[in-house]
């Protein structure tokens, strides 16, 4: 019972007044359930994808084919998370008039949230088929998103994503990260260069 109450009380990290169906670019980080290294392993600064990691890549790329409003940019699959840049275009702020029968909520199918939800669901179904684990989640409940506001910021984030495998030893998502040694060789500001 306590576990369910915690989920209900979870605070949203989304901007309250922001329309996530607006045309724009977003930097996403999606983590595996309990940050388990399900997607691959690091070998000599490179990610070697597991079978589940390969499924995740396929579903990520397929997302742009299935969702015409989505354009994919730079991305990387890490052992327990992925980073990617996704752009939404067309239908600025448009709300589809479909309503759910139960609750009569308006559905916004062309949002970052609906994209992430659809991607996670597709990858999870295929991963569970592979593992024979029907209904088991491979993802954390939520995801991190950052609204990209300038070309300079976009380029900094691209560079961060491309270099992410080289930074695995100090990555905050790495369960075995070596913080004491790494912090002496790299400045904290260099970890997330798009944050001024």
Could you tell me the domains of the chain? 18-191 (3.30.70.1290)
CB atoms near residue 97 (< 10 Å): 7
32 near 81, Cβ under 8 Å?
A: yes
Q: How far apart are CA 46 and CA 166, in angstroms?
A: 7
First to last CA, the chain: 42
Cβ-count burial 172-193 (b if 16+ within 10 Å, e if not): ebbeeeeeeeeeeeeeeeeeee
Least confident residue range of 2-6, 22-26, 30-34, 82-86: 2-6
C-alpha dihedral sign at 85, 120, 139, 56:
negative
Mean pLDDT of 67-79: 95
Q: Which two tokens stand for residue 62?
A: 């397929």
Q: Which tens digits make up the pLDDT trace of 16-64?
A: 554 555 678 999 999 999 999 999 999 988 999 999 999 999 999 999 9
pLDDT computed for residue 17 by the predictor: 54
CA 191, CA 57: separation in Å to the nearest integer? 25
Model confidence over 116-175: pLDDT tens digits?
999 999 999 999 999 999 889 999 999 999 999 999 999 999 999 999 999 998 888 888
Burial status of residue 132 (CB atoms within 10 A of its CB: 0-12, 13-18, 19 or more)? exposed
- Indicate if the pLDDT at residue 187 is higher than 50: no
- Model pLDDT, residue 119: 97
Specify the pLDDT at position 166.
92
Query: From residue 57, how far is each of 53, 130, 140 by CA, in Å?
Result: 6, 15, 17
Six-digit token string for 95:
């709300």
- Which pLDDT does position 164 carry in this prediction? 94
Question: What's the pTM value of the predicted model, to 2 decimals?
Answer: 0.76
């Amino acid at each position: 019972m306590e576990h369910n109450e915690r989920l209900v009380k979870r605070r949203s990290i989304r901007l309250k007044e922001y329309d996530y169906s607006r045309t724009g670019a977003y930097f996403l980080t999606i983590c595996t359930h309990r940050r388990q290294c399900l997607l691959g392993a690091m070998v000599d600064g490179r990610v070697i994808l597991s079978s589940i990691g390969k499924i995740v890549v396929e579903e990520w790329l397929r997302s742009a084919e299935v969702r015409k409003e989505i354009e994919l940019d730079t991305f990387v699959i890490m052992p327990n998370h992925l980073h990617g840049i996704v752009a939404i275009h067309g239908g600025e702020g448009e709300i589809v008039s479909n309503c759910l029968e139960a609750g009569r909520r308006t559905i916004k199918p062309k949002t970052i949230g609906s994209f992430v939800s659809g991607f996670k669901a597709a990858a999870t179904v295929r991963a569970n088929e592979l593992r024979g684990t029907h209904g088991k989640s491979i993802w954390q409940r939520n995801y991190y998103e950052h609204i990209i506001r300038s070309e300079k910021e976009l380029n900094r984030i691209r560079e961060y994503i491309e270099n992410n495998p080289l930074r695995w030893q100090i990555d905050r998502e790495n369960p075995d990260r070596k913080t004491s040694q790494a912090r002496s060789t790299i400045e904290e500001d260099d970890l997330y260069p798009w944050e001024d």
